[in-house]
Amino acid sequence: MAVEKVGIYRKWLDPVPKDENGNPVPRIQWPRKRRYHWIVRWYGTTGKRYGEVFETRKEAERHTTELQRQLSSGRGDKPRRIALHDFIREHERVMKGQVACGTLEEHVRALNMFAKHVGGDIELSKIQPHHAEAFLAQRLAGGCSTSTANKDLGTLRRVFNLAVEPRGYLAEGGNPFAKLKKRKIAQPPLRYVSVEEYRALTRASGSLWWRGLVSLAYGSGLRRNEILHLTWADVDFENHRIAITAKKETSDIIEWQPKDRENRVVPISEETEQLLANLQEDTPVRHPYVFISPRRLQRIKERRKTGKWDSRRQIINNMGRQFEAILSKAGVAECTLHDLRRSAITNWAQKLPIQVVQQLAGHSDISTTRKYYLAVRPEDLTSASRVLNSLLAGATDD
């Protein structure tokens, strides 16, 4: 265990001085006749002794205050040494299965770009905020968009937080990205899909498959992969609900995890429920998936058997192209499947408390719900205009 007290001592830089007779001067005279620095000493959690040298006592005392706080919480060990490229390999290994495949890919991508900038051999504890700032400046100068640079900053900040705790490669407060601020950018307006546009999309969808998918995105706010990994066991027709749950690999099931590893239950409308019931009638007995066809599932199973299947691959190919054709046929302005989900969340927010909307949307942070998913609808602008007109009508000139 770490000792409760951190010690500050002089570290002498010269031999003991002697007087005119060649005798060592008394110890009380050493500070005036002998050069010295200040050293802070303490013991780590394993009993190992550590020391840090400072030029002035003030610097040593400032370090001691912070160190004493760390010792009191059981963090008295010096950071372990590791090169950046070794840290990247370790991070990829230990985080596999802890975060989604796409998230881990993003971590490794950002780390490798940073390693290319500062050099992979640099020791993690030697990386300073100016390295991080220079990296982001280089990204922007190279034509990277501000939003992408901000995303890289957020990714690297999270990864280097893990280097502090629990891995112990950086001291507390040693994250080089911690104090860098994201560049301000004007957020584009959120695309809200009206009920009329939704109706046009369902009419233009043609196939029952696409009508069911569009209805789930717009009516229940599901993400694309949540829809594609939906099984008939997840659909509760009796209670008008759908469960978004993790899937363990079996002979007929593809392994899958929801975003943020959080299972949830969402409601379905009568319209969506009827579309799903119609889809179920067309589905072969014992086929588990709602939207993955038996033929596609068989193809995935064959690839999985030969080791050629990667869970990061698209479950259904060319969905984006097909949805663009539906948009064109419906005469609906450009939008995405995710815009349908966002519109569902906006609709919920008109009637439900924000914390309920957060749970239905599957957001781990309520600020995500507020910032990115609550669009201003045309009718909201009309209502705001009415409020303004009412206020002005009641005002009189002096």
Question: Which pLDDT tens digit goes with each residue over 308-328?
Answer: 877 666 788 889 899 999 999
Question: Which pLDDT tens digit goes with each residue over 120-164?
Answer: 999 999 999 999 999 999 999 999 999 899 999 999 999 999 998
Question: Which pLDDT tens digit goes with each residue over 237-291?
Answer: 999 999 999 999 999 999 888 887 789 999 999 999 999 999 999 999 999 999 9
pLDDT at 305: 87
Among the ranges given (164-173, 344-353, 389-398), the one the predictor scored with the smallest mean pLDDT: 389-398
pLDDT higher than 90, residue 73: no
pLDDT at 2: 45
Residue 168: left if φ>0, alpha if ψ -120 to 50, beta else—which one?
left
375 vs 231: which has the higher pLDDT = 231
pLDDT higher than 90, residue 100: no
pLDDT at 374: 82
Q: How far apart are CA 322 and CA 255, in angstroms?
A: 26
Token look-up 């029952």 returns 208
Among the ranges given (33-42, 62-71, 157-166), the one the predictor scored with the smallest mean pLDDT: 62-71
What DSSP designation does 79 have? P
Strand order in the sheet with 7-12: 7-12, 36-43, 49-54
Backbone angles phi, psi at 178, to 5 degrees: -60, -40
Neighbours of 61 (CB within 10 A): 14
What DSSP designation does 290 have? S
Give residue 74's pLDDT band: very low, low, confident or very high (50, 70, 90): low
63 vs 277: which has the higher pLDDT = 277
Domain positions in the chain are: 7-72, 84-164, 195-335
pLDDT at 64: 82
Assess if CATH 1.10.443 describes domain 195-335. Answer: yes
Q: How far apart are CA 249 and CA 231, in angstroms?
A: 13
What DSSP designation does 232 have? G
CB 157 within 8 A of CB 178: yes
Same fold, 84-164 and 195-335: no
pLDDT at 1: 36
Distances (CA, A) of 148 to 117, 152, 364: 17, 6, 22
pLDDT at 72: 58
pLDDT at 6: 80
Q: Rounded mean pLDDT of the chain? A: 88
Instruction: Give 18's strand partners.
Output: 24
Q: Is the pTM of this model over 0.85?
A: no
Q: What percentage of the chain reaches a pLDDT higher than 90?
A: 57
What DSSP designation does 364 have? S
State the DSSP string of 121-142. Answer: TSBGGG--HHHHHHHHHHHHHT
Q: What is the CATH number of domain 84-164?
A: 1.10.150
Token look-up 């957060």 returns 358
Task: Of 228, 227, 243, give the one whose Cα is nearest residue 360.
Answer: 243
